[in-house]
């Protein structure tokens, strides 16, 4: 047998509580998947839920796709350790820039234009908005290349907690999560994903609040914890100050993790499926409140990480090479009540599975609808049933590949700098390539195909240079400006996004010959008259 069963008498209270909770959680997720089979019979329902998903499901799908176990275990530990309580600004930035502003700026226009154009994915939008199949193929390739390592990174947040509590191999945890996520996404499509995201979001909300309360009580309450952090030799007053010890670095973290969501296909895709105007208004509020509690809570919790410095040292997590940031949050939680730890385990699993389901559904639908289907239809039309079958097969493919990368990275490729850095640059490459052309495409009629192509090249090119520098294949230490830009993937990711905002209008003005046709007809969807009640408009 691969796994040996422990002695029943030796089973800890945490395990005894966790196992029934996990069994119930898994059963519920799979049950929803089977129940939603009737909503996944054609492409539109499988990918977009028939464009009739309400505000609560859409808002929670947006939030749970945004915040994975990487945020809770990795980023909260790393940035809380580096910035102290000022890391809470990252969570607030995620809430007000990444959620509130994203819904306000993108939500309505995305829903209206994508339905008008008949686009189901972000690469499909680029083709139909800019009259270019080449742009669709290039965008699909970017999604394919950079979403797989991003997906593989989701498993990392699980290893520490599950190894500590259950003492089972990392590969087993990865396989369990991958198989169970695959089952409900394959059977139920977007609707199953949205409903399970809602359930997982509730777990995340309850879990975050419970953990914060428990950790603060463990340290004598909020005031006592802040005073202890302020007096700590490892922290000090700057770790309880408003902007922390490194405000510039903090700004770049806020910008990448907040503004970056505007250009990620798995995030923007949530706006394609929303039901109506009322759902957008309610979804904006719900999504923002969710982000304040989950993201704000995670980073606020991480801000107290240095109170556990001695525990980190005793456990060997602080070495000459640096701090093992993935161990900060698990160390903080190690002495909490078993029921709290059990809740955290389900929380981390829910956060990972929700984001994983969104990523693999986005990846499979993009590859099927934007690459495979057009190629197949050169010979014969591809039916709805066959398209859905191909998407299901690609879901299996993406989950298998990402799980394999995660397992190999933990074993054979454990010391591989390339794999680790590839995961780090994925977010910046996707957001840098897509954010500007997508946003300008919704608002500005004069955006050209050449400008979109330039943004693709600039965003991915910048991050590939970052990758080469990070693994030691290239050096820019002699060029101060470039050395600053490529300090790490957070810096270069922000420059990739902001650079796109400047590059797209400049290239558009210089390449008017590549302006797409029928532009007035494409924007006519915004001027279509609709009937509304007098309480909404005086007329």
Burial of 512 (0-12, 13-18, 19+ CB in 10 A): exposed
**Amino acid 48: pLDDT:** 77
The 10 Å Cβ neighbour count of residue 343 is 22
Pairwise CA distance, residues 97 & 242, whole Å? 19
Pairwise CA distance, residues 117 & 223, whole Å? 55
**Amino acid 448: pLDDT:** 96
What are the E-state strand segments in 274-367?
A: 318-319, 322-323
Pairwise CA distance, residues 321 & 224, whole Å? 32
49: Cβ–Cβ under 8 A, 6 or more apart, which residues? Answer: 39, 189, 190, 191, 194, 273
Domain residue extents for the chain: 19-411, 415-516
Pairwise CA distance, residues 120 & 114, whole Å? 7
Contact 369, 47 (CB under 8 A): yes
The 10 Å Cβ neighbour count of residue 383 is 11
Pairwise CA distance, residues 532 & 388, whole Å? 37
| Architecture category of domain 19-411 in CATH | Up-down Bundle (1.20)
Q: Give CA torsion, residues 379, 380, 383, 387, to 10 deg.
A: 0
Contact 398, 363 (CB under 8 A): yes
Q: What is the DSSP string of 423-442?
A: HHHHHHHHHHHHHHHHHHHH
* Residue 486, both tokens: 């490529």
**Amino acid 19: pLDDT:** 83
Whose tokens are 């290893």? That residue is 159
176: Cβ–Cβ under 8 A, 6 or more apart, which residues? Answer: none
Pairwise CA distance, residues 25 & 10, whole Å? 24
State the DSSP code for 319.
E
Per-residue pLDDT of the chain (539 residues; tens, 9 = 90+): 334 444 444 467 877 888 888 889 889 989 988 888 877 778 888 887 777 778 898 888 888 888 877 788 778 888 999 999 999 999 999 999 999 999 999 999 999 999 999 998 899 999 999 999 999 999 999 998 888 888 887 776 666 667 666 777 788 888 888 898 888 889 888 888 888 889 989 998 998 999 999 999 999 999 999 999 998 888 888 989 989 899 998 998 898 889 988 999 988 888 888 887 788 889 999 999 999 999 999 999 999 999 998 988 888 888 877 888 888 888 888 888 888 888 888 888 888 888 888 888 888 888 888 888 888 877 777 788 888 888 899 889 988 988 888 888 777 766 665 666 777 788 889 999 999 999 999 999 999 999 999 999 999 999 999 988 888 888 888 888 888 888 888 889 889 999 999 999 999 999 999 999 889 999 999 888 877 776 665 55
pTM above 0.85, yes or no: yes
404: Cβ–Cβ under 8 A, 6 or more apart, which residues? Answer: none
C-alpha distances in angstroms, 8 versus 11, 13, 15, 247, 426? 5, 11, 11, 51, 44
**Amino acid 3: pLDDT:** 41
Q: 3-class DSSP state for residue 274?
A: strand
CA angle 424, 425, 427 (to 5 degrees): 90
Contact 359, 38 (CB under 8 A): no
For strand 318-319 and strand 322-323, is the pairing parallel, antiparallel, or unpaired? antiparallel
Residue 114 backbone dihedrals phi, psi, to 5 degrees: -65, -35
In DSSP terms, which residues pair with 323 in a beta bridge? 318
Nearest to 486 by CA among 453, 464, 456: 464
Distance of CA 65 to the CA centre of its chain: 5
State the DSSP code for 53.
B
In DSSP terms, which residues pair with 318 in a beta bridge? 323
């Amino acid at each position: 047998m691969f796994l040996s069963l422990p002695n029943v008498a030796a089973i800890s209270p945490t395990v005894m509580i966790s196992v029934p909770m996990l069994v119930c959680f898994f059963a519920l997720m799979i049950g929803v998947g089977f129940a939603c089979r009737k909503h996944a019979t054609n492409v539109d329902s499988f990918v977009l839920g028939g464009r009739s998903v309400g505000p609560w499901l859409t808002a929670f799908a947006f939030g749970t796709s945004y915040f994975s176990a990487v945020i809770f275990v990795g980023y909260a530990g790393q940035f809380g350790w580096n910035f102290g309580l000022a890391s809470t600004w990252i969570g607030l930035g995620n809430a007000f820039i990444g959620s509130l502003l994203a819904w306000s700026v993108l939500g309505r226009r995305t829903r209206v234009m994508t339905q008008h154009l008949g686009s189901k994915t972000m690469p499909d939008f680029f083709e139909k908005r800019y009259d270019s199949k080449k742009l669709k193929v290039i965008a699909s390739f970017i999604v394919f290349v950079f979403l797989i390592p991003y997906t593989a990174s989701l498993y990392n947040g699980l290893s520490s907690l599950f190894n500590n509590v259950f003492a089972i191999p990392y590969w087993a945890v990865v396989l369990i999560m991958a198989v169970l996520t695959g089952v409900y996404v394959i059977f139920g499509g977007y609707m199953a994903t949205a409903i399970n995201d809602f359930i997982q979001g509730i777990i995340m909300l309850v879990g975050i609040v419970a953990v914060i309360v428990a950790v603060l009580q463990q340290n004598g309450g909020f005031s006592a914890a802040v005073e202890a952090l302020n007096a700590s030799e490892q922290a000090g007053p700057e770790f309880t100050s408003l902007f922390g010890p490194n405000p510039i670095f903090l700004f770049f973290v806020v910008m990448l993790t907040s503004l970056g969501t505007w250009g990620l296909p798995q995030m923007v895709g949530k706006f394609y499926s929303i039901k109506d105007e009322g759902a957008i208004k309610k979804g904006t509020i719900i999504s923002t409140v969710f982000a304040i509690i989950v993201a704000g809570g995670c980073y606020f919790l991480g801000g107290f990480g240095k109170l556990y410095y001695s525990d980190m040292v005793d456990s060997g997590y602080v070495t000459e090479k640096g701090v093992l940031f993935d161990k900060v949050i698990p160390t903080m939680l190690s002495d909490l009540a078993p029921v709290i730890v059990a809740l955290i385990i389900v929380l981390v699993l829910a956060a990972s599975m929700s984001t994983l389901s969104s990523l693999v559904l986005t990846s499979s639908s993009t590859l099927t609808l934007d690459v495979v289907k057009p190629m197949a239809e050169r010979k014969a039309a591809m039916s709805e049933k066959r398209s859905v079958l191909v998407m299901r097969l690609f879901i299996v493919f993406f989950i298998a590949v990402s799980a394999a990368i995660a397992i190999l990275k933990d074993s054979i490729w454990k010391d591989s700098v390339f794999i680790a850095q590839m995961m780090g640059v994925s977010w910046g490459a996707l957001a840098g390539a897509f954010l500007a052309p997508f946003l300008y495409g919704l608002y500005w009629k004069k955006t050209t195909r050449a400008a979109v192509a330039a943004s693709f090249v600039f965003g991915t090119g910048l991050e590939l240079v970052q990758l080469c520098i990070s693994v030691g294949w290239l050096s820019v230490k002699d060029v101060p400006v470039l050395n600053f830009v490529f300090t790490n993937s957070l810096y270069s990711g922000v420059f990739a996004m902001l650079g796109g905002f400047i590059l797209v209008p400049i290239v558009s003005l210089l390449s008017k010959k590549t302006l797409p046709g029928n532009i007035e007809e494409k924007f006519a969807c915004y001027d279509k008259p609709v009937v509304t009640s007098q309480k909404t408009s005086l007329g």
